[in-house]
Structure 1
Amino acid sequence: MSKRVLITGGNSGIGLCTAEQLAARGAEVILACRDQAKGQAALARIKHNSPDARVRVVSLDLADLNRVRGVAGQLNDELDGLDVLINNAGVVPRRQQFTADGFEMQFGVNYLAPVLLTHLLLPLLQQRPGARVVHVASVAHWLGRINPGTWRGRRPYLMLDAYGQSKLANILFSDVLAQRLAAQDITSNALHPGGVDTPIFRYTPELLMKAIRPTLTTPENAARLPVSLALDDRYNGVTGGYFDAKGPAARSPRARNKASGEKLYRESVKLLGINPL
């Protein structure tokens, strides 16, 4: 039976290429996107390349927790199960911005909203044997540290520090989820897709881009890893991992700190007003 996969931010960059490759392999794909025009364009591109693809778009704005709750409720009403959730969407604003709930944008969108979405979609994941949760993190987690004093805003706003914290938090949450869902036949793994030539670099000075562009891979190549983690049999039962294109990847000491992960998780569910697993 083909797999049903929901991917956040599946309308551009790595997310779109991941969705294309999932559909090409016969998966049913749900694109959860903030920009519905881009979502429909992505759907059309996928259908053009894979005419028999089963793909749909749902509206999801991770910068508004009420809208996260709304789409999760809609999906729970409409679907009979979900095989894979890929938490892919992310933002890297150049200047400090805030979510509708008053969180610093990178912490809120890249980390906190996916925690809520994952919890709310668990009833669907529990309906499918061997369900998987995949978190798109980054080697930039080495730059991060968990600092609750920055969750509602930072002075000064340091873009890469904020990004590093959100990606570190992704890995810590993936590990907590893996541990707490182990008995439910649901796996959780995180990944670093590699340095990818995507719009994330749009604010990088041109001279610097000329230097680093030869080291970057394409979104198409980067998408192979999340697709593999989502569908390949070799990841059956594999949980709590952090991978790059070469296999298991090195984590920073902070990303290996289980006590820090548990503390972050407890504080996160309290912020979200949900029960811990």
Structure 2
Amino acid sequence: MSKRVLITGGNSGIGFCTAEQLVARGAEVILACRDQTKGQAAIAKIKNAHPQAKIRLFPLDLADLEQVRDCAAQLYQELGHIDVLINNAGVVPTRQEFTKDGYEMQFGVNYLAPVLFTHLMLPLLKKGTAPRILHVASVAHWLGRINKKTWKGRKPYLIMDAYGQSKLANILFSNVLADRLKEIGITSNALHPGGVDTPIFRHVPNAIMALIRPTLTTPEKAASLPVSLALDKQYVGITGEYFANHKTALRSPRARNSSLADELYYDTMAELGIPAL
């Protein structure tokens, strides 16, 4: 029986390659993307290579919490279940930007909106088979600190500080879900796909990219990890882990701090105005 996998931001980079590899292994893929034109182009490209692919597109703008709720409502209407949720979408703006709801863009898009979306997807996941939640984090979480004072803006805006906070928050959220969903059989794991040459670097100056690019892997190679975590039997029942290079990896002390995870979780629920699990 094929798995139904929902991927956020699956129209380019790691998300696209993940979608293509999932389809090649017989999974049904649901893409949730902000740019519908790019999303349709991604589907056309995948279907060209895999004519029998089962793949659909839904609109999801993580920079607008109302649209996150709208997307969830549409998914409820059209899908009976999902087996895997991959929170893949992310941004790294070089200048400070803000979501429609007034949050610093990296915090809002990389962390806050995926938290809301994940909670809204739980009813569909509960109906899935051996359901799994995956969070695309980063080794950059080692740079991260949770600082509520920065959630609605930073002075000065430090790109990697903001990125590190969002990726640390991803792992802490994954840990909380693993603990609170274990009894109902939903697993939650985070992963570092590796340094990848993807459109997430599109705002980085060319001179800096010339130095970074030789250290990066390809999106195709990076996608093999989320694909494996989504489909392979060896990960059934595995939860609360952080993976890199297809094995468990060391998390920063902050990413292993359960008190920090709980504090962030309850503060986040307050920001979103939804009940904690």
Residue 154 of structure 1: aligned partner:
154
User: Judging changes above 3 Å, is the alpha-carbon distance between structure 1 residues 26 and 246 closer, same or farther for their aligned structure 2 residues?
Assistant: closer
Aligned equivalents of 2:83 and 2:201: distance in 1?
A: 32
Give deviations 1:133-184, integer Å, cap 9, x for gaps.
Answer: 0000000001110000000101011111000000000000000000000001
SS across alignment from 1:223: helix
User: Judging changes above 3 Å, is the alpha-carbon distance between structure 1 residues 63 and 205 closer, same or farther for their aligned structure 2 residues?
Assistant: closer
User: Judging changes above 3 Å, is the alpha-carbon distance between structure 1 residues 55 and 104 closer, same or farther for their aligned structure 2 residues?
Assistant: same
User: Judging changes above 3 Å, is the alpha-carbon distance between structure 1 residues 74 and 266 closer, same or farther for their aligned structure 2 residues?
Assistant: same
| Greater shift in the superposed pair: 27-36 or 196-205 | 196-205
The 5-angstrom pairing of residues 148-227 of structure 1 reads: 148-227=148-227
Residue 2 of structure 1: aligned partner:
2
Aligned equivalents of 1:271 and 1:201: distance in 2?
A: 29
SS across alignment from 2:145: coil
1:136–1:191 Cα contact (<8 Å) kept: yes
Aligned equivalents of 2:205 and 2:36: distance in 1?
A: 30
Aligned equivalents of 1:215 and 1:94: distance in 2?
A: 20
Residue 26 of structure 1: aligned partner:
26
Give deviations 1:25-56, integer Å, cap 9, x for gaps.
Answer: 11110110000000000000110111000001
The question of 1:37 aligning with 2:44 is answered no
The question of 1:83 aligning with 2:106 is answered no
Residue 273 of structure 1: aligned partner:
273
Aligned equivalents of 1:205 and 1:69: distance in 2?
A: 35
Aligned equivalents of 2:34 and 2:246: distance in 1?
A: 32
SS across alignment from 1:130: coil
Aligned equivalents of 1:49 and 1:88: distance in 2?
A: 22
Residue 46 of structure 1: aligned partner:
46
Aligned equivalents of 1:65 and 1:207: distance in 2?
A: 35
Residue 190 of structure 1 aligns with an amino acid whose one-letter code is A
The question of 1:69 aligning with 2:65 is answered no
Residue 142 of structure 2 aligns with an amino acid whose one-letter code is W
**TM-score (ref. length: structure 1):** 0.98
SS across alignment from 2:187: strand
The question of 1:128 aligning with 2:108 is answered no
Residue 4 of structure 1 aligns with an amino acid whose one-letter code is R
Residue 82 of structure 2 aligns with an amino acid whose one-letter code is L
1:188–1:240 Cα contact (<8 Å) kept: yes
Query: Aligned residues, how many?
Result: 277
Residue 240 of structure 2: aligned partner:
240
Residue 93 of structure 1 aligns with an amino acid whose one-letter code is P
SS across alignment from 1:51: coil
Residue 270 of structure 1 aligns with an amino acid whose one-letter code is A
2:111–2:167 Cα contact (<8 Å) kept: yes
1:129–1:185 Cα contact (<8 Å) kept: no
Aligned equivalents of 1:205 and 1:74: distance in 2?
A: 38
2:135–2:191 Cα contact (<8 Å) kept: yes
User: Judging changes above 3 Å, is the alpha-carbon distance between structure 1 residues 59 and 215 closer, same or farther for their aligned structure 2 residues?
Assistant: same
Measured after TM superposition, the shift of residue 205 of structure 1 is 4.1
Unaligned 5+ segments in structure 2 are none
User: Judging changes above 3 Å, is the alpha-carbon distance between structure 1 residues 216 and 108 closer, same or farther for their aligned structure 2 residues?
Assistant: same
SS across alignment from 2:133: strand
| Greater shift in the superposed pair: 239-248 or 182-191 | 239-248
Measured after TM superposition, the shift of residue 207 of structure 1 is 4.1
SS across alignment from 2:134: strand
**TM-score (ref. length: structure 2):** 0.98
Aligned equivalents of 2:112 and 2:6: distance in 1?
A: 18
Measured after TM superposition, the shift of residue 246 of structure 1 is 4.1
